[in-house]
Structure 1
Amino acid sequence: MDHFIYKNGELYAEDVRIAEIAEKVGTPFYVYSTATLERHFQVFDEALDGMEHLVCFAMKSLSNVAVLKLLGNRGAGIDVVSIGEYLRAKAAGVPGNRIVFSGVGKTREEMRIALEGDIRQFNVESEPEMEALSEVALSLGKIAPIAIRVNPDVDAKTHAKIATGKKENKFGIPISRAKEVYAHAATLKGLDVVGIDVHIGSQLTDLEPFRLAYRKVAELCETLRAEGHNIRRLDLGGGLGIPYTRSNEVPPLPSDLGQVIREEVGHLGCEVEIEPGRLIAGNAGLMVTEVIYVKSGEDRDFMIVDAAMNDLVRPSMYDAHHDIELVKEPQAGAEKQPYDIVGPICETGDTFAKAREMNKVAAGDLVAFRSAGAYGAVMASEYNSRPLIPEVLVNGDQFAVIRKRPTYEEMIARDIIPEWL
């Protein structure tokens, strides 16, 4: 569910008119719903009710500090994959004991900062990383808590670029080598091996891959305990998919995933961590843009909007679908026609949709891209020297800009001309 609905012929974010935000902030912009973010976190938390657990928001999906504070205030942990993300989480007031540090390429400097600032655990992904982390921890007089990420070789049946649990992917250690890697970790004096980590991909719409991966983790947990390892925590990753279209097909619910977790690992008595990102943030956000021109081509009409692939790269990068709606509610039975919906960037790839059936539009109309809260603003760039677009947070009948649009002068001022020029 989300809180973007039509009222009185206009699209609203909770109790705020989208058109009012556009008037005050300008287009394009991202807008997020507090009520939706809170609700989506809550349903994950409730899915594991009765089990010792922590829901860690995967902030790579949406890293604005205001959003992190909002979720942190509700008790969320945070899953980070860089020291920049770690520092954003700390800036949002999330304590280190609720921050999990994932990622395949942590540097020694990143390890040092996280250890000095406090960390719940590192999810380590290779033997060289384990050895480096142990050395850094000992140099600081600390012990680093770790879970070792295992690669279960399970096909998540998702987009190839966001599958992470097959043997050809770069993530984790082969589960077939887990016993020897855990044995090695136990000899490293700077580490405390607390658990097992697994994550198989993103935008999964079938629970069976989760079940297969968790079953392998359960078997590994029992094997490692028999070998003398004190496995007390399971990080089961995230990846549950969201509906990107308003069709009758509904992906599994967090409660469904929770039931799979209970059935496959509940008997182990471990604390469970999960790392949802997309399902918390995705349908909690829109990207709003304005039509610049409607252009007639040889065999199609183009809707040219002021947002571009640098603002929302998912359609270009993943062939991703976003439902696109007019901010002004169309009249019932109004005429529709197909448009190629494109941005101003000098790339044919700057195309959001082809032959999309839409109500007729004109220059100046506002258009909203749904399900844009996850992997939208975080993947944006300044390609074509286009400033990053604002992010706005709505709470009931109020809204605030939580990242402003930089001026062209601010953007250009970051470049430095050397003295010899």
Structure 2
Amino acid sequence: MPTTVVLFTRDLRVRDHPALSAAAARSDAILPLFVLDPAVLGRSARNRIAYLRHALADLRASLRRRGADLVVRQGDTVTETLRAAAEARAEAVFLSEDVSLTARQRVRRLEGARIEVRTFPGVTVVPPLEITPSGRAHYAVFTPYWRAWERREWRPAVEPPERFALPPGIAPGPLPDQDLDRSGTGSLSPHRLTGGESHARRRLNTWIAEGIADYERYHDALGAAATSRLSADLRFGCLSPLEVASAAGACEGGVPYIRQLAWRDFHHQVTAAFPDIARRDYRPRDARWNDDEGALAAWREGRTGIPVVDAGMRQLLEEGFMHNRARLITAAFLTRELRIHWRRGGDHFHRLLLDGDVADNYGNWQWVAGTGNDTRPNRRFNLLRQARRFDPQGDYVRRHVPELARLDAADVHTPWRLERTPPGYPAPLVEIEGGVSRPR
């Protein structure tokens, strides 16, 4: 059979990769391709680019163990894919289905060329828009989606091809080096995770063996670090979300974690129906927003004077990651207390997050801001109650805000009440007493 190109995008693995397995069943030769597209890299976080470099090296090693290789090209993704296909005399391009505007435009452009194009599941547990409510294009509320998602029979995971070959005469091309990290947005976080399927599978195995049983009890505890830390591995597809869900389903206490994977699928099906999720209100509220560049800068730097907010923002800078509860708190502070537009916050997160994903990042920001899929758009968050409930001993704050490291649990969340505030720590941008905030 003729050669098939498998275009890797957000699916940098060989296990449970339906497009790769289908190509191996169809063709004698496969051209596994990844394109370093300057247009995409230029708006990607430097943290994600660093993760990507390691993930590509890991993927190449896996493919070489199977007798093939990863072909790496640079340039416009569609142009380079069609060029590689012509060079290999390929008759088809297989790739995983995705929901972002970039992904959808890529498929449309490929379909406009004289080559067969097929998309496959693999980015989510349940393919976007495979579950739809009666009379509507997608689910706008999570709970009914979750009920339908639970009832859905999942596809079987597919085994990776044991052996396959590149078409003759194809030069794999060099992997990117550390110079690539200079492109992109934001800064490199010193304590970020290393990318790649082999690293991701070790993290998954550790999580299943040692962490998931306590997830329901401790996942909101900021100081406990009791979450899976698999979000970047899922974002790059170094882990199959279906395999993660299946592994969790085999564990006692796995359902609360599976519910979070369903939330991820939920945001993807919303984005499939509303691809402008990163730019426009999903549900316009006619909200009035402030343009306070000084307050925005203080929030970005973790210098708001609200310890739990500053701890979350500094974790983001240090790790390219933020605890999910802290994401909610920091987003609520920006949009509900400072009244700064959700897009400014979402863009900042996207410039730094290892797991920065259009559907999840902006879907969650709109949920917090009241313009998205929250059924209570006027929801308010009591920041002190959140801090004391989810960081009762102040461990999370002291870990990330060293100016407050010597304060005890009674004072660490309210340093402005002390007779002398800790040296170097700012006064709060807003006054918060009894859950009521007022601009200073």
The TM-score range, normalised by the shorter chain, is under 0.3
Scaled by the length of structure 1, the TM-score of the pair is: 0.26
TM-score (norm 2): 0.26
More strand by share: 1
Which is helix-richer, 1 or 2? 2
